A and B are shown apart, each in its own frame.
Chain A
Amino acid sequence: MNEATILALQISGIGLAGVFLFMTIFYFVIIGIDKLFPHEEEEK
């Protein structure tokens, strides 16, 4: 295995973890703003 492959493996690990982290944060953003600004309140 060459050096580039080892670095690619490291980047893949960090990259996949990173994208899951981002998506999890966005998940909580959606949950949060949906609770803070529900549709019913706006209609009132």
Chain B
Amino acid sequence: MEFSELMPAIAGMTWKHLVMIGVGFTLIYLAIKKQYEPTLLLPMGFGAILANIPYSAVLTQEDSVIRGALDVFFDAGIATEVFPLLIFIAIGAMIDFSPLFQRPILLLFGAAAQFGIFITMILATLVGFTLPEAASIGIIGAADGPTSIIVANMLAPSLLGPISVAAYSYMALVPIIQPPVIKALTSKKERLMRMSSDTNKKVSKTALIMFPILVTILAGLIAPSSLALIGFLMFGNLIRECGVLNSLSKTAQNELANLVTILLGITIASTMQAEQFVRWDTILILGLGIFAFVFDTAGGVLFAKLMNLFLPEDKKVNPMVGACGISAFPMSARVIHSMGQKEDPHNFLLMPAISTNVGGQIGSVIVGGLILLLVPLFA
């Protein structure tokens, strides 16, 4: 009997497998020690180890009649989009849209801060990716994990692993990525700007119920391809705001979110197999992902500066707030608020930052829908 028959996993181990197991350890370290998105990075890290032990039973093997559990989860939850869409219900149930009613103009930053997605898509085509691959890489800049998964799964399934890892890792790195970009684009005087905010304004329950319904109808009429994304997000929000489904709302925010997150994280890891992941493309994708985040932040800040040219003095926007137009909620808002406080301890930017950040969540979902509509038309 040969060694490879007796110990097939050890005999089949290559340097690529070891690299991926190292990646798994790194993700687990970041999750536990640095607390970067631990709910996702930890399952992904452990799943990366599971998927990179040669002949692992969690993946379907050529000579086996039994399907690997991670492949079953992938086909049931990712290929069908069920897991990310269930996450959208949970996120919708967590979002409070009332800050947007206090200053709805801040919604526009949710559009401006998607700039990085498109500039990254263009750059990705220049370095050799196909249009669907480039669009999937660009969407990392949405700072929205479920949207990234859905877009990548539909347009470039072979890149799902690195795109998911980049999307979730960089979301966790918002406090590190955004501040230097913002500081480079703003003067101290701009960072000290105070914003008037009508924090006492109350929003009626009816308005908060009507908002998700109307947004769903309008988004569906204009771009039906965005409906799966925006529809499930708004459904979750309607459960929250209707006032008669408190138990379901709490379940969506807690049990559903937690359960699907566990399955989503470990299932994504099934795409992190050594042969698919340890490639030059992966490094390029990780680099382009940072590029997307940087230009999203820049897009929001520069748009705020542009808007300030036209806004009256009492309505001007602190340009730092524009950076919250990405979807990383509420991390981005907290980062901007703390940056404002560092410049001036009496400057409270949290409310406008939260409003903008909520707009960013809507914006990222809309961009995902638009990319799913446009890329197949052009490709």
- Contact between A4 and B108 (Cβ–Cβ < 8 Å)? no
- Contact between B210 and A33 (Cβ–Cβ < 8 Å)? yes
Query: Contacts A4-B125, A4-B130, A33-B210 hold; do A11 and B215 have CB atoms under 8 A apart?
Result: no
Chain B residues 190-212 with CB under 8 Å of chain A are 201-207, 210-211
Bound-state Cα–Cα, A37 to B303, Å: 31
- Contact between B371 and A15 (Cβ–Cβ < 8 Å)? yes
Query: Contacts A11-B135, A22-B222 hold; do A31 and B370 have CB atoms under 8 A apart?
Result: no
State which of B18-26, B112-120, B262-270, B341-349 sits at the interface with chain A.
B112-120
Our pick among B111, B125, B131, B211 for the contact of A19 (Cβ within 8 Å) is B111
Smallest CB separation, B354 vs chain A (Å):
15
- Contact between B210 and A37 (Cβ–Cβ < 8 Å)? yes
For chain B, what secondary structure do more than half of its interface residues adopt (helix, strand, loop), or is it mixed? helix
Smallest CB separation, A11 vs chain B (Å):
5
State which of B57-65, B98-106, B280-288 sits at the interface with chain A.
B98-106
- Contact between A8 and B367 (Cβ–Cβ < 8 Å)? no
Q: B159 near A: Cβ within 8 Å?
A: no
For chain A, what secondary structure do more than half of its interface residues adopt (helix, strand, loop), or is it mixed? helix
Query: Contacts A7-B378, A15-B371 hold; do A23 and B214 have CB atoms under 8 A apart?
Result: no
Q: B72 near A: Cβ within 8 Å?
A: no
- Contact between B118 and A2 (Cβ–Cβ < 8 Å)? no
- Contact between A29 and B215 (Cβ–Cβ < 8 Å)? yes
- Contact between A11 and B207 (Cβ–Cβ < 8 Å)? no
Residues of the A chain whose Cβ atoms lie less than 8 Å from the Cβ of B378: 7, 10-11
- Contact between B126 and A26 (Cβ–Cβ < 8 Å)? no
- Contact between A16 and B210 (Cβ–Cβ < 8 Å)? no
Bound-state Cα–Cα, A21 to B367, Å: 11
- Contact between B211 and A33 (Cβ–Cβ < 8 Å)? yes
Smallest CB separation, A3 vs chain B (Å):
9
Bound-state Cα–Cα, A25 to B219, Å: 9
- Contact between B100 and A30 (Cβ–Cβ < 8 Å)? yes
Smallest CB separation, B36 vs chain A (Å):
28
Residues of the B chain whose Cβ atoms lie less than 8 Å from the Cβ of A22: 111, 219, 222-223, 363, 366
Binding site for A on B (CB under 8 A): 100-101, 104-105, 107-108, 110-112, 114-115, 117-119, 121-122, 124-126, 129-131, 134-135, 201-207, 210-211, 214-215, 218-219, 222-223, 359, 362-363, 366-367, 370-371, 374-375, 378-379
Binding site for B on A (CB under 8 A): 1-2, 4-5, 7-12, 14-16, 18-27, 29-31, 33-34, 36-39, 41-42
Interface pairs A-B: 5 shortest CB-CB: A12-B118, A37-B206, A39-B202, A4-B125, A30-B104
